[in-house]
Amino acid sequence: MNDYIIGVNLPDSTGLPQLEEVLRRYVTDGFNACEINLSTFPMIIGGEIKPIVVDYVKEILSRYPLRYTAHAGYGLDLRNVEELEMHRAVLFSSVDVCAALGIELLNLHYEVQSQYTDREKAFFDAHREAAEYAMVQGVKLSVENIEVEIAQKTADFVRAVNHPNLGMTLDLGHLYLSAKHFGYDYLETVKECAPLLSHLHINDNTGDFEMMRLTNFDLYKTMDRNYRFAFGRGDIHVPPFWGKAPLKEAISIIRKAGYRGFWLCEYYNQSFVPFNREVQERVRREIENV
Ligand SMILES: [Zn+2]
């Protein structure tokens, strides 16, 4: 019985030759869904969809009894008014890729609110138009809170766009870091966001905010992952219940609010292969036991 759709994210280091074995392992580990970062494979080149690659991926995805969601590829910045045409092209092509692959939902990052009206307007307009465009193709859009910003701003944005095809992704790990860093209540925020949720990212960390994420993002990206695990530095995406975020309480609030979407475990699962089944079972148990 799979009443709850427990998903896991495909590592962005997965090459096309490994895709099949990774998906097979997820099925064996009891997952029901997989989230794919769209820049994992060269499915978009120069803002345009590459059908030969999309068809190749689609054939492999169709072999497994999994449902699929997508994460927008790296570098997408819909506040970049200097290169807006290209960023919008990548956004709309991302929707096309999802539709072609039978992916139900496209997750997009909110990032940090800027001080500039024109950038915020570009960001708003792109999401509103893409929500409409994606609805026709049967792809839901969902905007995710990032640890570098107050989560309520993502919720406010989703309410402002006010489109039936655009909801909020709550990332419980990002929320934990953000709530501690900016000083607001974690579980109150989960309660406030729960009615808006179209998607959920479940992952863990130690609650220690990594300042380098704000002061030097390029250097931050080069930090060794195992070093960051060991020292608990920032948004480390370890398996749910391996860190300190109050995930049990958050899951309880979200389930009681009537959430019906994916329960997507978003962690560096390639580092935890022998334990992935246990992670899936633990998350499922926590949801069922509410
Ligand atoms: Zn996330």
Q: What is the DSSP string of 78-113?
A: TT-GGGHHHHHHHHHHHHHHHHHHT--EEEEE----
What local confidence, expressed as pLDDT, does residue 67 receive?
Answer: 98
113 phi/psi in degrees, rounded to 5:
-65, 135
- If you measure from the C-alpha of residue 239 to the centroid of ligand 1, how many angstroms do you get, rounded to a whole number? 12
pLDDT value, residue 2: 53
Residue 168 inside a domain? The answer is yes
Report CA 270 to chain centroid distance, whole Å. Answer: 17
Residue 284 is assigned to a structural domain of this protein: yes
Q: Is residue 276 part of a domain?
A: yes
pTM over cut 0.75:
yes
Confirm whether 1 is domain-assigned.
no
CA of 1 to the centre of ligand 1 (A): 27
pLDDT in tens, 98-129: 999 999 999 999 999 999 999 999 999 999 99
Query: Cα(54) to centroid of ligand 1, in Å?
Result: 24
Domain that holds residue 278: 6-288
Count how many domains the chain has. 1
Q: Say how many Å lie between the CA of residue 266 and the centre of ligand 1.
A: 6
> Has residue 230 been placed in a domain?
yes
Whole-number pLDDT of residue 3: 87
Please check whether residue 238 lies inside any domain of the structure. yes
Please give the distance of CA 121 from its chain centroid, rounded to a whole number.
23
- Residues above pLDDT 70, as percent of the chain: 99
Average pLDDT, the chain: 97
Can you name the residues that pair with 143 across neighbouring β-strands?
Answer: 108, 168
Residue 16 maps to a domain: yes
Mean predicted confidence (pLDDT) in 160-175: 98
Q: What is the CATH number of the domain that holds 251?
A: 3.20.20.150
Q: Is residue 19 part of a domain?
A: yes
Dist. CA 235 → ligand 1 center (Å): 10
From the CA of 176, how far away is ligand 1's center (Å)? 12
